[in-house]
């Protein structure tokens, strides 16, 4: 999912004098994971798969800004998706920009919460699934279905399965 890339980006930023705390969350109970996620300034979901998972949805619902690699060709939400796009190659720059702009982090966190509740609440998902099935459509348009099934098969539980999940957070600590 890009752990080495996240660690390398944080180390580069620390080398630039940016005080960043990396919290690698893995193998902890759900309550502990959620407490740590809720206190993070930014969550990095993944940098490899090209789509976000349950962890990103849970973090958006918490109002935390999420960074993730998104395959735009399979993104049914387009620019409406309030996830900060990054790849392993762009992560350092993306985190640097977010560290310098707390207002942007706050805005993205708010947009993410609104999006998660509108697009991923259980009631909304059931209604959308019924409408798409009755129209003869796949659940996720423009090719995202395969990506979603592949990724969510092992990740939909997100931090609900925190003992098996790996997620990254960072908090900027400016003096």
Indicate the helix (H) or strand (E) that contains 113: helix 102-120
Task: Locate 157 and state its tokens.
Answer: 């539980």
Q: What is the pLDDT of residue 66?
A: 95
- Return the bridge partners of 21, or none: 171
- 59, 60, 61, 63 alpha-carbon torsion, rounded to 10°: 90
Residue 2's pLDDT band (cuts 50, 70, 90) = confident
Please state the pTM of the whole predicted model.
Answer: 0.74
Rounded Cα distance between 94 and 88, Å, is: 10
Per the DSSP assignment, residues forming a β-bridge with 25 are: 167
Strand segments (E) across the chain? 20-26, 42-44, 66-68, 84-85, 166-172
pLDDT digits (tens, 9 = 90+) for 13-25: 999 999 888 988 8
Please report the pLDDT score of residue 78 as a whole number.
Answer: 92
The two structure tokens encoding residue 63 = 């109002």
User: For residues 88 and 127, what is the distance between their CA atoms, to the nearest angstrom?
Assistant: 36
Residue 148 has pLDDT above 80, yes or no: no
pLDDT at 164 > cutoff 80: no
Q: How high is the pLDDT of residue 138?
A: 47
Per-residue pLDDT reduced to its tens digit, 93-144: 999 999 999 999 999 999 999 999 888 876 655 555 555 455 554 444 444 4
Q: How many alpha carbons lie under 13 Å from residue 11 in its C-beta half-sphere?
A: 6
pLDDT tens-digit map of 27-81: 888 888 888 998 899 999 999 989 998 889 999 999 999 999 999 998 999 999 9
Q: Given this model, what pLDDT does residue 82 score? A: 97
Position 72 scores a pLDDT of 93
* Residue given tokens 């009631």 in the structure block: 123
Q: Which of 32, 25, 2, 53 is nearest to 157 (CA)?
A: 53
Of residues 155 and 9, which shows the higher confidence score? Answer: 9
- End-to-end alpha carbon distance in the chain: 31
CA distance 13 to 44: 15
Q: Is 35 helix (H, G, I), strand (E, B) or coil?
A: helix
């Amino acid at each position: 999912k890009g752990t080495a890339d996240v660690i390398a980006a944080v180390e580069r930023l620390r080398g630039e004098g940016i005080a960043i705390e990396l919290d690698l969350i893995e193998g902890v109970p759900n309550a502990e994971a959620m407490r740590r996620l809720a206190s993070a300034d930014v969550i990095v979901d993944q940098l490899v798969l090209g789509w976000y998972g349950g962890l990103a949805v849970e973090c958006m619902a918490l109002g935390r800004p999420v960074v993730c690699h998104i395959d735009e060709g399979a993104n049914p939400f387009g620019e409406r998706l309030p996830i900060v796009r990054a790849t392993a190659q762009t992560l350092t720059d993306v985190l640097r920009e977010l560290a310098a702009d707390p207002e942007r982090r706050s805005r993205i966190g708010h947009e993410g919460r609104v999006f998660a509740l509108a697009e991923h609440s259980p009631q909304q998902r059931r209604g959308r699934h019924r409408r798409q099935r009755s129209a003869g459509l796949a659940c996720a348009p423009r090719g995202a279905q395969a990506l979603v099934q592949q990724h969510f098969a092992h990740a939909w539980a997100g931090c609900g399965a925190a003992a098996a999940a790996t997620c990254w957070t960072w908090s900027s600590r400016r003096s």
